[in-house]
Amino acid sequence: MFRFFYFLLSISLFSYSQDSQNIESQIKSFYDHSLTSGKSYEWLEHLSNQIGGRLSGSLNAERAVQWSKEELESLGLDKVWLQPVMVPKWVRGNFEYASIESSTGNSINVSICALGGSVATPNRGIRAEVIEVKSFVELKKLGVDKIAGKIVFFNRPMDPTKINTFSSYSGAVNQRTEGAEEAIKLGAKAVLVRSMNLSNDDFPHTGSMYYGSVKLKDRIPAAAISTNGANLLSSMLKLDPKLKFFIKQNCQNYPDVLSYNVIGEIKGSEFPNKIILVGGHLDSWDLGDGSHDDGAGVVQSMEVLNQFKSLGVKPRHTLRVVLFMNEENGLRGGSKYANIANKKREDHLFALESDAGGFTPRGFSFDSSDSEFDKIKSWKKYFKPYLINEFTQGGGGADIGPLKSTGTILSGLRPDSQRYFDYHHSSQDTFDAINKRELEIGAASMSSLIYLVDIFGF
Amino acid sequence: MFRFFYFLLSISLFSYSQDSQNIESQIKSFYDHSLTSGKSYEWLEHLSNQIGGRLSGSLNAERAVQWSKEELESLGLDKVWLQPVMVPKWVRGNFEYASIESSTGNSINVSICALGGSVATPNRGIRAEVIEVKSFVELKKLGVDKIAGKIVFFNRPMDPTKINTFSSYSGAVNQRTEGAEEAIKLGAKAVLVRSMNLSNDDFPHTGSMYYGSVKLKDRIPAAAISTNGANLLSSMLKLDPKLKFFIKQNCQNYPDVLSYNVIGEIKGSEFPNKIILVGGHLDSWDLGDGSHDDGAGVVQSMEVLNQFKSLGVKPRHTLRVVLFMNEENGLRGGSKYANIANKKREDHLFALESDAGGFTPRGFSFDSSDSEFDKIKSWKKYFKPYLINEFTQGGGGADIGPLKSTGTILSGLRPDSQRYFDYHHSSQDTFDAINKRELEIGAASMSSLIYLVDIFGF
């Protein structure tokens, strides 16, 4: 009897260890494949250098849609399709410039760029006094008397003491998104926002801004100023609070245009109706080529399905890649995707997004129940050899966010964040800022997590 | 009675939590200080751009000695001094070039650089057939018949599947250090070594090589070839195994010269005779400006003492910074330091080295007893907010290595290693490859570890 139990126990221990070894070995093959014969870097080179910046509504965005559809088709997936979605069309125009006019005839050019969604200045530009503020509270205290007719200069820097730079971003970005709307209430003529950048340099960083319910005729231009420009303006204002600032830009909003989410899938062998999603966003800002934001997430997501096909791993659940359109200035692709999924009553078990740059991955965040998170944490051991050890509870990502209402577990790849805001939304976000290995280790980490979700389920 | 015990218990729990909070708060102040008013980045800008590459025995190495001594003196330490050490003097000379000669008149230039310590070619250069090998075993199998009179081309790449790129380096670097010595035994005319680089690019990476006991007259020239050059040469050899390779370089060895380790210290308030050491190496290779190797380690080590002074943290043990001379091609500084320490019977409790690049720190390695390592691991919780979580057993670093024999606990800062070998020992190791925040977080992590060693002791 004793011997029989021991026999059963041995069998069970043996199988467990076998399974665990198989899993470890499968995960190692994802990393080895990505680092030796993965496609992510080559794909990103094409998307960044041969296509380039791909703002929603632009010809380049459509080139990216066609190219990524063809690449997914070449992988031999079970299905590849385009999901139509109407997107905003905002264009930067052909000029944007600004200068600090310290006295008649004396002026210093500073680097600015229009914020996405901003209206143009009048043709003659805007020349006005500047009032510097660090917060909306400070703005309101100054009131109409001090603000009316002036350019409001939001100059609260990102907090350098946060280790997670996305926290620093969260603490400063309302100046960019809501600054104009707040300044309009007090009669400002334009808004200038310190770039969301932790470095001191000459590159302005764009990004979305919104006018809320402000009528078209009441809207004022909004631009980002480089951090060096902001520091210069701030110190010159201390010497001469009456100096004038000149700004001219001819960006423009057009009616919405048709675009697409690009989708591909491998049908699940056991649970074809349960979907595991992996994705990033195909659109980017227009100043750089969007290599980190979010070309990296696009090619890493494509690579996950490429790895399953190339390595002959047949998923039990349906594995779907979604390249979302219009994350940057509207989130129309993410909303549309969830909307269609709800209408079709699709069951999304898990969704993983990569939209935090192509840097060395440090971990994943998860938006799940505590018990699901406990299960996920039991997989940390598989990531130990790859130095992936930050498993945190928190959001997954903007594009997959709308899936939350139907109970999908959301997850986000969390790369090292120290360099991200040096590039984010600026002309510096280009392919040469990508390290091949960092990108590839990120892709393999995503394949590994998706694989664990597929074999263990929820 | 019960109440009295409870009272005692509360006191003890209370003190513990207070202490723990004080430690957390002190550590946070190291990070905050480093990220807002630290000197490491500004120092490195000077060392890299105003001084530059500083190979042992060069004038620039002496400029670096003088500059770092003056900077340490400006911190108001208890003592700053120079420790004399004789170092090798090897100079690159004023030319080094090479080409693949595929047929008469047809030649392609490839990027090479002399390896540190190599002899020159004859004035007319060397023109010979090339034999490509991947290992010493393969070399020996080919034997004198196949090797004599030829250029041996060591072309075993660094293994891209290792996550720790230092492991990939260890697996390939014997080609550079011992390749010439092995090839000489079989009558080779010169040695060409694939650069220790995981990327494909056009930059050759130098580094030390040794002739062992080979007599001066029998030594042959050794050079590194860029990874692109190595790939090209390898594929051309497949088409034409008889092609000729031409190489010419006029590097030279001179007699040893006098140089210095630069040392500064804050006397311990309780244990002045127990020393906690922090350091990096002041010398660098000559091709770039040595920002990552090891300018970063130098300024981070200086920053540790700066932080203790600036933040008014009085160490219980003597805190000493050592900027070692000649790590790259001789380790004379590290050996000399340990030698003098032994003679003076100095008691080194702990030594921390930073010599793995100025990238985001991932953890520390420790060379200690298991029980000491258990104690150290109990400090991991203090590093959690800063995403420092890789505490491993292993070596500390080359310069502090000689202290091991006297029982010192050795430790090394372990930054993310993915990008390191893109720069290492090449013209690409320059200040623009440094991210300010990554460097500063590394410095703060070092201060924090040193602080924990100081308050908890061993």
| Model pLDDT for residues A189-229, shown as the tens digit of each residue | 999 999 999 999 999 999 999 999 999 999 999 999 999 99
Check A390 against B389: CB less than 8 A apart.
Answer: yes
* Residue partners of A162: CB distance under 8 A and separation at least 6: A168, A171
Give the pLDDT confidence score for residue B9 in this predicted structure.
Answer: 44
Taking alpha carbons only, the member of A442, A454, A453 closest to residue A386 is A442
In the structure encoding, which two tokens stand for residue B169, read together?
Answer: 């380096």
Told to judge if B327 belongs to the known catalytic residues of this protein, a careful annotator would answer: yes
Taking alpha carbons only, the member of A254, A186, A184 closest to residue A222 is A184
Give the pLDDT confidence score for residue A16 in this predicted structure.
Answer: 46
Q: Are the C-beta atoms of B23 and B381 separated by less than 8 Å? A: no
Q: For A375, phi and psi rounded to 5 degrees? A: -65, -45
Q: Which residue of A has its CA nearest to B162?
A: A32
**Cβ of residue B161 closer than 8 Å to a chain A Cβ:** yes
Residues B445 and B373 occupy one common structural domain: yes
Choosing among A387, A434, A445, which should be mutated to test the B contact, i.e. which has the most B CBs within 10 A?
A: A387
Q: Are the C-beta atoms of B347 and B277 separated by less than 8 Å? A: no
Cα–Cα distance for residue pair A224/A112, rounded to 1 Å: 5
Where in the sequence is the domain holding A74, given as residue range(s)?
Answer: 29-90+255-456
> What is the pLDDT confidence band of residue A99, given thresholds at 50, 70 and 90?
very high
Q: Of A250, A282, A317, which marks where a domain is finished?
A: A250
Is residue A230 over pLDDT 70? Answer: yes
Choosing among A437, A441, A445, A448, which should be mutated to test the B contact, i.e. which has the most B CBs within 10 A?
A: A437
- Determine the 3-state secondary structure of B159 from DSSP: coil
**Running DSSP on this structure, what letter comes out for residue A119?**
P
Q: Within a domain: residue A48? A: yes
Check B32 against A161: CB less than 8 A apart.
Answer: yes
* Residue partners of B20: CB distance under 8 A and separation at least 6: none
Cα–Cα distance for residue pair A423/A91, rounded to 1 Å: 21
Q: How far is CA B91 from CA A166, B117, B127, B325, in A?
A: 47, 8, 23, 16
Residues in chain B predicted with pLDDT less than 70, given as ranges, are 1-18
Give the pLDDT confidence score for residue B7 in this predicted structure.
Answer: 47
Q: Cis bond leading into A294, ω under 30°?
A: yes
Q: How far is CA B439 from CA B297, B308, B434, B435, B436, in A?
A: 9, 18, 7, 6, 5
In the structure encoding, which two tokens stand for residue B442, read together?
Answer: 């590394």
CA distance B28 to chain A (A): 9
Q: Within a domain: residue A2? A: no
Give the pLDDT confidence score for residue B1 in this predicted structure.
Answer: 45
pLDDT, mean over chain A? 95
Residues in chain B, total: 458
**Cβ of residue B385 closer than 8 Å to a chain A Cβ:** yes
Active site residues of A: 327
**Running DSSP on this structure, what letter comes out for residue A116?**
B
> What is the pLDDT confidence band of residue A8, given thresholds at 50, 70 and 90?
very low
| pTM for this model (two decimals) | 0.95
Residues A196 and A111 occupy one common structural domain: yes
In the structure encoding, which two tokens stand for residue B415, read together?
Answer: 């930054």
Chain A contact set for B437 (CB, 8 A): 160, 165, 198, 418-419
Is residue A7 over pLDDT 60? Answer: no
Residues A404 and A263 occupy one common structural domain: yes
**Among A residues 173-202, those touching chain B with beta carbons less than 8 Å apart:** 198-199
Q: Which of B132, B327, B346, B353 is catalytic?
A: B327
pLDDT tens-digit map of A24-62: 999 999 999 999 999 999 999 999 999 999 999 999 999
Chain B contact set for A360 (CB, 8 A): 360, 416, 418
Give the pLDDT confidence score for residue B318 in this predicted structure.
Answer: 98
Q: Sheet of B96-103: strands edge to edge?
A: B106-110, B96-103, B244-249, B126-133, B151-154, B190-194, B222-225, B112-114
User: Which ranges of B38-86 would DSSP assign to H, the alpha helix?
Assistant: 40-45, 59-74
Cα–Cα distance for residue pair A303/A306, rounded to 1 Å: 5
Q: Of A220, A250, A280, which marks where a domain is finished?
A: A250
Residue A235 burial class via C-beta count within 10 angstroms: exposed 0-12, middle 13-18, buried 19 and up? exposed
The residue to which tokens 């990120």 are assigned = A442
More confident residue, B379 or A18: B379
CA distance B267 to chain A (A): 30
CA distance B111 to chain A (A): 21
In the structure encoding, which two tokens stand for residue B30, read together?
Answer: 């190291």
Chain B contact set for A198 (CB, 8 A): 437
User: Which residue among A198, A387, A436 sits closest to B437, beta carbon to beta carbon?
Assistant: A198
Q: Are the C-beta atoms of A56 and A328 separated by less than 8 Å? A: yes
DSSP E strands in B24-104: the ranges are 79-91, 96-103
Chain A contact set for B441 (CB, 8 A): 163, 418
Q: Within a domain: residue B3? A: no
- Determine the 3-state secondary structure of B112 from DSSP: strand
Q: Within a domain: residue B112? A: yes
Q: Bridge-partner residues for A277, per DSSP? A: A320, A351
Residues B223 and B238 occupy one common structural domain: yes
Give the pLDDT confidence score for residue B106 in this predicted structure.
Answer: 85
* CATH number assigned to the domain comprising residue A53: 3.40.630.10
Cα–Cα distance for residue pair B412/B396, rounded to 1 Å: 4
Q: Are the C-beta atoms of B194 and B113 separated by less than 8 Å? A: no
In the structure encoding, which two tokens stand for residue B50, read together?
Answer: 């105003």
**CB half-sphere exposure, B356, CA atoms < 13 A:** 26
User: Which residue among B161, B387, B438 sits closest to A390, beta carbon to beta carbon?
Assistant: B387
Q: Given its phi and psi angles, is residue A443 left (phi above 0), alpha (psi -120 to 50 degrees) or beta?
A: alpha
Residues A207 and A310 occupy one common structural domain: no
Chain A contact set for B362 (CB, 8 A): 387
Which helix (H) or strand (E) covers residue B413, if one does?
A: strand B409-415
- Determine the 3-state secondary structure of B316 from DSSP: coil
Q: Bridge-partner residues for A100, per DSSP? A: A108, A245
Q: Within a domain: residue B111? A: yes
3-state helix, strand, coil in chain B (%, to 5): 40, 25, 35
**Cβ of residue A45 closer than 8 Å to a chain B Cβ:** no
User: Which residue among A36, A161, A389 sits closest to B160, beta carbon to beta carbon?
Assistant: A36
Choosing among A161, A168, A428, A448, which should be mutated to test the B contact, i.e. which has the most B CBs within 10 A?
A: A161
**Cβ of residue B438 closer than 8 Å to a chain A Cβ:** yes
Is residue A398 over pLDDT 90? Answer: yes
- The Cβ of residue A148 has, within 10 Å, a number of other Cβ atoms equal to 11
Taking alpha carbons only, the member of B102, B151, B103 closest to residue B131 is B151
Check A416 against B416: CB less than 8 A apart.
Answer: yes
HEC states along B197-260? CCCCCCCCCCCECCCCCCCHHHCCCEEEECHHHHHHHHHHHHHCCCCEEEEEECCEEEEEEEEE
Q: Mean pLDDT across the stretch A416-425? A: 98
Residues A150 and A270 occupy one common structural domain: no
Residues A344 and A359 occupy one common structural domain: yes
Residue B311 burial class via C-beta count within 10 angstroms: exposed 0-12, middle 13-18, buried 19 and up? middle
**Cβ of residue A389 closer than 8 Å to a chain B Cβ:** yes
Q: Which residue of A has its CA nearest to B200?
A: A436
Q: Sheet of B252-266: strands edge to edge?
A: B79-91, B252-266, B317-324, B271-281, B347-353, B409-415, B361-367, B390-393
Residues B280 and B297 occupy one common structural domain: yes
Cα–Cα distance for residue pair A125/A123, rounded to 1 Å: 5
* Residue partners of B433: CB distance under 8 A and separation at least 6: B291, B292, B419, B422, B423
- Determine the 3-state secondary structure of A154 from DSSP: strand
Residues A286 and A211 occupy one common structural domain: no
- The Cβ of residue A210 has, within 10 Å, a number of other Cβ atoms equal to 16
pLDDT, mean over chain B? 95
Q: Which residue of A has its CA nearest to B164?
A: A386
Residues B218 and B309 occupy one common structural domain: no
Q: Within a domain: residue B13? A: no
ipTM above 0.90, yes or no: yes
User: Which residue among A386, A390, A416 sits closest to B163, beta carbon to beta carbon?
Assistant: A386
CA distance A171 to chain B (A): 17
The two counts, helices (H) then strands (E), for chain B are: 13, 16
* Residue partners of B305: CB distance under 8 A and separation at least 6: B72, B75, B77, B264, B265, B266, B278, B319, B321
Residue B431 burial class via C-beta count within 10 angstroms: exposed 0-12, middle 13-18, buried 19 and up? buried
Q: Of B197, B229, B250, which marks where a domain is finished?
A: B250
Number of domains chain A is built from: 2
In the structure encoding, which two tokens stand for residue B312, read together?
Answer: 């008014």
**Cβ of residue A102 closer than 8 Å to a chain B Cβ:** no
Is residue A9 over pLDDT 60? Answer: no
**Cβ of residue B424 closer than 8 Å to a chain A Cβ:** no
Cα–Cα distance for residue pair B305/A273, rounded to 1 Å: 61
Taking alpha carbons only, the member of B225, B135, B245 closest to residue B179 is B135
**Cβ of residue A213 closer than 8 Å to a chain B Cβ:** no
What residue type is assigned to position B150 of the chain? K
Residue A392 burial class via C-beta count within 10 angstroms: exposed 0-12, middle 13-18, buried 19 and up? middle
DSSP for A375-388, written as a single string: HHHTTHHHHGGGT-
* CATH number assigned to the domain comprising residue A244: 3.50.30.30
Residues A230 and A360 occupy one common structural domain: no
Q: Which residue of B has its CA nearest to A391?
A: B387
Residues B150 and B292 occupy one common structural domain: no
Cα–Cα distance for residue pair A203/B374, rounded to 1 Å: 47
Q: Within a domain: residue A131? A: yes
Q: Within a domain: residue B2? A: no
